[in-house]
A and B are shown apart, each in its own frame.
Chain A
Amino acid sequence: MSEIFSPISVPAAKPAQAASEGAATRGVLIGISVTFLALFLVLPLFAVFTQAFSKGIGAFLDAFREPDAWSAIRLTLTVAVIAVPFNVVFGLAASWAIAKFEFPGKALLITLIDLPFSVSPVVSGMIYVLLFGSQGLFGSWLIDHGIQILFALPGIVLATVFVTFPFVARELIPLMQEQGTAEEEAALTLGASGLHVFRTVTLPNIRWGLLYSVLLCNARAMGEFGAVSVVSGHIRGLTNTIPLHVEILYNEYNFVASFAVASLLAVLALITLVLKSFLEWRFAGELAHGRAH
């Protein structure tokens, strides 16, 4: 009997670790992760700014005394001002139709809207070359009628719209699905017209998700390189967007100017990240769940 009750020597228990790793392991894993991210993600960002200012602030500012730089900035803003609102309207229409109604083929429709995300940027530009290029499907017709799409603003806008096409829709569809139709129905029973309901009930409910998607859509629209590169024709001062201007300067070994202009886009990326993180932190409940682009 006595053996049963005799105290068994138990190694000092560490209950906090029962379902986690030890402090040392944790430290090592955190260290590896942070180092890896710093080396692979943060260092390039850091490099953009050090290179931009490597010859001093004067050399940095010289990059913006170039008229070509300003025409690139103007073109990028013009493209974004057209492409982003277009995708907002499309995203609102698509999410309204898909989230508020039941119809067959919905899953297929969502897949088709997502399609541009899985197409290489270069191919995204190329498909418009195949349509509107001089050897393209509508090429000779366009030449006969003196319409310029490729190597001009329309082509750049089209390619940008294509690569940013899913951004707004794929954020708003799950968000609206989650919210259902009860509030809209309530507003209708109170006598409100369809547009009034959309403006006063639906829109306020999705405003943060909409802002979130506009941020991401805008960042991509202003920064798109591959697709735009294919359709732009690289005409200095005319069809060069900021990323294309960065490329040209870099290929001319004008590194300081190239990084100086690139730093504009890097700042845009940082602002986008900060606002995005703020929205995710502050309005987590009002954004769609499960985000992996």
Chain B
Amino acid sequence: MVETPRPRRTFRRPSVIPGFGISFGYTLTCLGLIVLLPLAGLVVKASGLGLSGIWDVATDPRVASALRISFGVSAIAALVASTFGFLVAWVLTRYRFPGRKLVDAAVDLPFALPTAVAGIALASLYAPDGLVGAPLARLGIQVAYTPIGIFIAMVFIGLPFAVRTVQPLIAEIDKEIEEASATLGATRIATLTKVVLPPLIPAVLTGFALAFARGVGEYGSIIFIAGNLPYVSEIAPLLIVIKLSEFDYGGAAAIATIMLGISFLTLLAINLIQAWSRRRFGYV
């Protein structure tokens, strides 16, 4: 009579590799104290205001205008960043030209360059007497201290996200698929639009969403070029800083909650895009 062995119910699958308890415990402790507890503080503060309290803050004309600017400009900037990002990614993976590696490395510049440094550099370049700002001013275009300045800064910080999300997928495209399409009589344009591009759409959308989320939250590289005129070029993160300096923690928490809520929806959208992509194309 053989008893059926009962499966051992343990939290983790048993293993001879040592150190799970200490490393897992340390991970949770750090995560809890550094990340989760402070974020929970924000949730507590925001829920203290209640939905109507948050709504009151959001409909304050200055806050509403800042939110509109942050989200609106970021969407346009993300669109431009993902369009040019796609082109850059395509050129970098598909073509060989002198200095390609250097250009490839330069794409990461906005990751490496501190945002404040980028901010003052952009501000000086696009100021009415700046290297780029002066010729534009002669054309009647003012960049600095307008939403266009915010747009420039957001494209700057969003670009690497757009490039780096599509680049690995372009590299993985099977050359034979394009050749097959060509042997079947398709023109190059038809091959690109019907065969090559459709599977890349999810990655482009993901890159767009990442650049968008980054743009909405960005502070350092924007405030110098934006000029921060209320109702014209004031972004939501700056308004948080202003509210904090006035000890209006409730108002700051409300704006942060709205921003986090929309960022969360963006992240959710990314996950849905990726889930759809996995089903449709078998990869992210």
A–B in direct contact per CB < 8 Å: yes
A interface list, Cβ under 8 A from B = 17-21, 26, 29-30, 32-34, 36-37, 39-45, 47-48, 51, 89-90, 92-94, 96-98, 100-104, 109, 112-113, 115-116, 118-123, 126-131, 133-137, 158, 161-162, 165, 181, 184-185, 188, 194, 197-198, 216, 219, 222-226, 229-230, 243-244, 246-247, 250, 255, 258-259, 262, 265-266, 269-270, 272-274, 276-277, 281, 289-293
Q: Which residue of A lies closest to B112 (CB)?
A: A269
Closest residue of A by beta carbon distance from B36: A112
Chain B, residue nearest A261 (CB): B117
Q: Are B113 and A265 in contact (CB under 8 A)?
A: yes
Compute how far the CA of A258 lies from the CA of B121 in the bound complex, rounded to whole angstroms. Answer: 10
- Kindly specify which of B142-150, B244-252, B274-282 makes contact with the partner chain: B244-252
The answer to whether B120 and A37 touch across the interface, beta carbons within 8 angstroms, is no
Cα A90 to Cα B26 with chains together (Å): 7
- CB-CB under 8 A from B124, the residues of chain A are 47, 51, 255, 259
- Of the listed residues A118, A162, A184, A246, the one surrounded by the most CB atoms of chain B closer than 10 A to its CB is A118
Q: Looking across the interface, which residue of chain A has its beta carbon closest to that of B166?
A: A292
- Inter-subunit contact A42/B213 (CB<8 Å): no
Q: B194: CB under 8 A from chain A?
A: no
* CB–CB A250/B120 < 8 A: yes
Q: Which residues of A contact B152 (CB under 8 A)?
A: 40
Q: A223 near B115 (CB under 8 angstroms)?
A: yes
Contact present for A41 and B156 (CB under 8 Å): yes
B118 to chain A, nearest CB (A): 6
A101's partner among B17, B123, B244 (CB-CB below 8 A) is: B17
Point out the residue from B168, B182, B241, B256 that lies within 8 Å of A290, measured CB to CB. B168
Given contacts A127-B39, A198-B19, are A223 and B120 in contact (CB under 8 A)?
no
Residues of chain A with a CB closer than 8 A to B12's CB:
101-103
Complex CA distance for A245 and B177, rounded to whole angstroms: 54
* Known A-B contacts A101-B20, A185-B16, A194-B19; A161 and B34 likewise in contact (beta carbons under 8 Å): yes
Q: Which residues of B contact A216 (CB under 8 A)?
A: 111-112
Q: Which residue of B lies closest to A273 (CB)?
A: B112
Chain B contacts of A223 at CB under 8 A? Answer: 113-117
CA distance A137 to B106 in the complex (A): 43
In the bound complex, what is the Cα–Cα distance between A133 and B253 (angstroms)? 13
Q: Cβ of A165 and Cβ of B34 under 8 Å apart?
A: yes
Q: A18-B179, A94-B30, A137-B44 are in contact. List 10 more A-B contacts (CB 8 A).
A: A90-B30, A97-B27, A98-B27, A109-B27, A127-B42, A129-B249, A136-B41, A223-B116, A226-B115, A243-B115
B148 shortest CB reach to chain A, Å: 14
- B229 is an interface residue with CB less than 8 A from chain A: no
B253 in contact with A130 (CB, 8 Å): yes
CA distance A91 to B227 in the complex (A): 39
Complex alpha-carbon distance, A93 and B116, angstroms:
32
Residues of B near A119 (CB, < 8 A) are 39, 217, 260, 263
Does B241 lie within 8 Å of A230, measured CB to CB?
A: yes
Determine if B241 and A122 form an interchain contact, defined as CB atoms under 8 angstroms apart: yes
Q: Are A135 and B249 in contact (CB under 8 A)?
A: yes
Contact A292/B210 with A41-B109, A262-B121 known, Cβ cut-off 8 Å: yes
Whether A222 contacts B114 in the complex (CB less than 8 A), given A18-B182, A127-B38, comes out as: yes
Q: A112 contacts B178, CB within 8 Å? A: no
How many chain B residues touch A (Cβ–Cβ < 8 Å)? 101
B219 to A101, Cβ gap below 8 A? no
Contact call A133/B175, Cβ cutoff below 8 A: no
> Which residue from B88, B183, B216 sits with its C-beta under 8 Å from A33?
B88
Question: In the complex the two chains form, is A181's CB within 8 Å of B15's CB?
Answer: yes
Residue pair A128, B38 in contact (C-beta under 8 Å): yes
Closest 10 interchain pairs by CB? A223-B114, A120-B217, A194-B18, A225-B220, A103-B12, A226-B219, A44-B121, A127-B38, A19-B178, A269-B112
Q: How far is the CA of A251 from the CA of B165 in the complex (A)?
A: 36
Determine if A273 and B108 form an interchain contact, defined as CB atoms under 8 angstroms apart. Answer: yes
- Please give, as numbers and ranges, the residues of chain A lying within 8 Å of B44 by CB-CB distance: 137
- From known contacts A37-B106, A112-B31, A121-B220, infer whether A44 and B241 are also in contact, taking CB-CB under 8 Å: no
| A141 CA to B12 CA, complexed, in Å | 40
Bound together, the chains give a CA A19 to CA B30 distance in angstroms of 51
Task: Please give the distance in Å from B256's CB to the nearest CB on chain A.
Answer: 5
Residues of A within 8 A of B273 (CB): none
Binary contact track B114-140/A, C-beta < 8 Å → 1, others 0: 111111111111000001100000000
**Could you show 15 A-B contacts with beta carbons less than 8 Å apart?**
A18-B178, A29-B91, A30-B97, A40-B159, A41-B106, A45-B121, A116-B35, A123-B256, A126-B252, A126-B253, A126-B256, A133-B244, A135-B249, A246-B116, A265-B116
- Could you tell me the distance between the alpha carbons of A246 and B123 in the complex, rounded to whole angstroms? 13
**Alpha-carbon distance between A109 and B28 when the two chains are bound, in angstroms:** 9
Pairwise interchain contact A120-B35, C-beta atoms closer than 8 A: no
Closest CB in chain A relative to B103 CB, distance in Å: 6
Q: List A contacts of B263 (CB < 8 A).
A: 118-120
Q: Are B156 and A44 in contact (CB under 8 A)?
A: yes
Evaluate contact between B16 and A273: CB separation under 8 angstroms.
no
Smallest CB separation, A75 vs chain B (Å): 15
Are the C-beta atoms of B244 and A34 separated by less than 8 Å? no
Q: Which of B104, B191, B247 is the one whose CB lies under 8 Å from A19?
A: B191
Residues of A within 8 A of B123 (CB): 250
